C-alpha cells in the first residue's frame, strides 16, 4: 500500500492506542499467572497479536475477540514447554522476552519469525542463557539471527554478566528469574534503554516479585520463585505512538489535543515532551484530564551553544524517527546520541532515516551511534518566511518499519502546497498503531491511499 501525504493544517482531538510494551508484558505475565486476567485497552497491533498466539503454546488460553478487553486464562502451575515452534512474527520484544522464559522448562524450544526477525541479533541471548546453564544455539552458524534453539532448564541462582545494551533480553531474564528458586544476579556492564527495564520492574513488583536494582541499573537481583496471580488492568496509552501526532502538529504549526495520555511515568518515551519544549514547543499536559495540548510553535535551537541541541536517546531510542523529522523543521541542529541500538531494530534506523530524509532535501550526518539533523524553521523569529527552508516531496521507502513509515508520512503534512510525499509499504504502521492514517485523518491529516 502507498500513502500520499501533502500539506495539511491539523485540528481537534485524537487518541492513540494502548502501549505495545505494556500489552506484551500483560500477555506474558497473565499467561503464567493463576486465574483469569483481563487486559483492557490493549494494543491490537501485529506484534501484540503475535504474542497472543504465542503464549497459548505455554499452556494459557487467550481470547482477543473483544478488542477492548482481552481475556487470558493463565496456565499457572501447569505452564509447560512450548507445544510447537514459537513464531514471534515481527516482534523482537516477544523473541527476547520469551526465550529466557522458555529456558526455564526442561526440553527444546525453537524460536523463529518473519524475514525481519530472522535478521535480528541473538548471540547476546545465547551467551546469557549459557551462563544460566541452558544450551542455546543459532541454526545458521554464519548468521547472528534466529532461528534460535534452546534447551532448558536453566539453573537456579545464576549470575549473568552481559552488556545490557538491548533491554529486552534483560527484561526476559528478569521474567524468567521470577520462576526460579533463590536469587538470580544480573550484572550489566553498559545498560541502555533503562526506562524499559524499569517498566519490567514495576510489572514484576506488581505481580509480587521482590527485586533489588541499583540506581545505575548495573546490578539487578531477582528473588524467586513467585506464583503470580491473575489481574484486571487497563493498558495506558502508548507514548511511542503519541510522538507522531505530537510532532505532526508542531511541524504544521497546528493546534491539537491528544486525549488520555499516560502520566504515570512508566514509559520513558514521555521524555520527548521535554526535548521538544527545549526547542520552544508549546506543549501542555493536564494531569487531571490526562490531555496533552499542542499549540502553534516555532522550533529552534538558536539559543543553545553552536545552535545545537544534544539529546541522549539511550533510554528511549524508538523516538529517533519522530525526532529526526522534527529536526528538519528546527532552526539549528539536533544531535541524537548514544543510539547504536537503533542499528539493530526492525531496520538500521540511523541508516534508513538518513537515506530517506536526504531524498527530501534534509541535511543529515551520522556516525556509529549518533544522528545529526540540521534544519530550518519555516518562519524566522519575526514571523517572516524563512527562505533557507528547502525541503521537497518525493517517494520514500518505509523498509516495512512502522516508525519510519509514520514519521515520513507526518513530514509530508508540513510540505508547501503542491508538494507531496508518497510512502511505500505504508501498511506496516499496523505493528504499533493500527488505523494510523484513519485516526490521523480524524484531525484533518488528509492521508490518501493511492
Which residues are annotated as catalytic? 318
DSSP state of 62: E
- Write the CA distances from 429 to 84, 206, 398, integer angstroms: 28, 31, 9
Of 154, 171, 259, 252, nearest to 211 (Cα)?
171
Query: Is the Cβ–Cβ distance between 426 and 398 less than 8 Å?
Result: yes
d(CA 175, CA 206): 13
Closest Cα partner for 119 from 103, 135, 105, 140?
140
Task: Decide: helix, strand or coil at residue 337.
Answer: strand
> Cell 545464576, residue?
158
The three-class DSSP label of residue 151 is: strand
The phi-psi region of residue 164 (left if phi > 0; otherwise alpha if psi is between -120 and 50; otherwise beta) is: left
DSSP-H helix ranges across 135-229 = 167-177, 194-206
Q: What SS3 class is residue 294?
A: strand
Per the CB < 8 A criterion, the answer to whether 37 and 71 are in contact is yes
Residue 18's contacts (CB-CB under 8 Å, 6 or more residues apart) are: 41, 42, 43, 235, 236, 237, 238
Please name the residue ranges forming H helices in 103-138: 123-131
User: Which DSSP string do the residues of 187-248 spell out, in sequence order?
Assistant: EESS---HHHHHHHHHHHHHTT-EEEE-TTSSEEEEEE----B--EEEPPB-HHHHHHHHHH
Helix (H, G, I), strand (E, B) or coil at 95: helix
Residue among 93, 77, 98 nearest 23 (CA): 93
Say if CB 58 and CB 80 are below 8 A apart.
yes
Q: Which residue carries 544522528 as its cell?
A: 371
Q: Give 417-438 as a DSSP string.
A: TT-EEEETTGGGGGGTSTTHHH
The whole-angstrom separation of Cα 327 and Cα 202 is 33
The sheet carrying 308-312 orders its strands as 308-312, 332-337, 370-375, 363-366
Is the separation of the CB atoms in 22 and 235 below 8 Å?
A: yes
Amino acid at each position: 500500500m502507498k500513502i500520499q501525504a501533502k500539506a495539511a493544517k491539523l485540528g481537534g482531538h485524537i487518541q492513540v492506542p494502548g502501549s505495545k510494551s505494556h500489552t506484551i508484558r500483560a500477555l506474558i505475565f497473565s499467561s503464567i499467572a493463576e486465574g483469569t486476567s483481563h487486559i483492557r485497552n490493549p494494543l491490537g497491533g501485529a506484534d501484540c497479536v503475535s504474542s497472543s498466539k504465542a503464549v497459548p503454546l505455554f499452556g494459557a488460553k487467550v481470547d482477543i475477540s473483544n478488542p477492548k478487553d482481552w481475556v487470558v486464562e493463565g496456565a499457572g502451575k501447569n505452564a509447560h514447554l512450548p507445544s510447537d515452534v514459537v513464531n514471534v512474527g515481527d516482534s523482537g520484544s516477544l523473541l527476547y522476552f520469551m526465550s529466557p522464559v522458555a529456558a526455564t522448562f526442561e526440553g527444546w524450544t525453537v524460536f523463529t519469525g518473519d524475514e525481519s526477525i530472522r535478521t535480528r541479533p541473538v548471540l547476546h541471548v545465547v551467551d546469557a542463557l549459557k551462563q544460566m546453564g541452558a544450551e542455546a544455539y543459532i541454526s545458521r552458524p554464519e548468521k547472528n539471527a534466529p532461528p534460535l534453539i534452546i534447551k532448558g532448564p536453566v539453573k537456579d541462582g545464576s549470575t549473568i554478566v552481559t552488556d545490557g545494551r538491548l533491554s529486552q533480553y534483560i527484561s526476559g531474564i528478569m521474567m524468567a528469574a521470577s520462576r526460579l528458586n533463590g536469587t538470580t544476579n544480573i550484572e550489566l556492564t553498559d545498560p541502555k534503554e533503562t526506562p524499559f527495564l524499569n517498566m519490567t520492574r514495576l510489572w514484576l513488583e506488581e505481580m509480587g516479585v521482590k527485586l533489588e536494582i541499583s540506581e545505575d541499573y548495573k546490578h539487578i537481583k531477582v528473588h524467586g520463585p513467585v506464583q503470580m496471580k491473575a489481574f484486571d488492568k487497563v493498558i495506558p496509552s502508548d507514548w511511542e505512538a503519541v510522538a507522531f501526532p505530537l510532532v505532526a502538529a508542531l511541524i504544521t504549526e497546528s493546534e491539537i489535543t491528544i486525549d488520555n495520555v499516560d502520566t504515570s511515568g512508566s514509559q520513558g518515551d514521555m521524555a520527548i515532551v521535554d526535548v521538544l519544549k527545549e526547542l520552544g514547543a508549546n506543549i501542555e499536559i493536564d494531569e487531571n484530564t490526562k490531555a496533552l495540548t499542542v499549540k502553534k510553535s516555532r522550533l529552534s535551537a538558536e539559543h543553545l551553544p553552536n545552535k545545537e541541541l544534544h539529546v541522549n536517546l539511550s533510554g528511549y531510542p524508538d523516538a529517533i524517527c519522530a525526532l529526526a523529522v522534527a529536526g528538519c523543521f528546527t532552526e539549528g541542529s539536533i544531535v541524537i546520541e548514544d543510539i547504536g541500538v537503533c542499528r539493530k531494530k526492525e531496520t538500521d534506523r540511523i541508516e534508513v532515516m538518513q537515506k530517506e530524509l536526504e531524498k527530501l532535501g534534509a541535511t543529515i550526518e551520522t556516525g556509529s551511534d549518533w544522528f545529526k539533523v540540521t534544519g530550518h524553521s519555516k518562519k524566522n523569529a519575526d514571523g517572516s518566511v524563512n527562505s533557507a527552508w528547502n525541503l521537497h516531496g518525493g517517494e520514500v521507502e518505509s523498509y516495512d518499519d512502522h516508525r519510519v513509515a509514520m514519521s515520513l508520512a507526518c513530514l509530508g503534512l508540513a510540505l508547501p502546497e503542491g508538494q507531496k510525499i508518497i510512502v511505500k509499504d505504508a501498511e506496516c504502521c499496523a505493528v504499533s498503531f493500527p488505523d494510523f492514517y484513519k485516526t490521523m485523518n480524524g484531525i484533518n491529516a488528509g492521508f490518501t491511499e493511492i
